[in-house]
Amino acid sequence: MPVSEPIGPTESDSALADRYGPARRKPSRTAQKWAIIAALAAAVAVVAWFTVNLTSETLDYEDVGYTIESDTRASVEYEVTKDFDATAQCMLHVLDDSYAVVGSRIVTIGPHEGTTADERSQYFRSDLRTEHLGVTGIVESCWLLD
């Protein structure tokens, strides 16, 4: 003869409920659907915001090369890509063999003429004075001015 289990709550279930509180109820199907819809809407809004923000004003920069001319002079060659009417500033550094900054300069890059996307990029060469012999020249960072 099979042994049957009680269908309702048992004494051990009520003891657990007294100790830990009643069992949690799952959200209804409707609540789950609305939560998923809200999460998707929020994700679409975030992607749209990033897309608009990234395309409104762009600024890219890249080191192209450097020349160490002497113990007190160096030059840095770099490419800056920005909107035609934007003004940017870049921080250039000359570093020694222990990565210490031995020369630094901020350069301003103003608006320029152009019509195509390829003309947004410009190449520059800037001279820097150094305190000691450098071994490399880099563009540390660039930013847009208001």
Confidence of residue 2 (pLDDT cuts 50, 70, 90): low
Domain 59-144 matching CATH 2.50.20: the answer reads: no
Q: How far is residue 112 from each of residues 29, 41, 85, 105, 106, measured CA to CA in Å?
A: 58, 40, 7, 21, 19
Confidence of residue 15 (pLDDT cuts 50, 70, 90): confident
Look up residue 27 and give its amino acid.
P
**Domain residue spans of the chain:** 26-56, 59-144
CA distance 146 to 135: 34
Closest CA to 62 of 138, 127, 117, 113: 138
Q: Which residues contact 128 (CB under 8 A, 6 or more apart)?
A: 73, 74, 75, 76, 92, 94, 103, 104, 105, 137
Model confidence over 32-82: pLDDT tens digits? Answer: 999 999 999 999 999 988 877 665 568 999 999 999 999 999 999 999 999
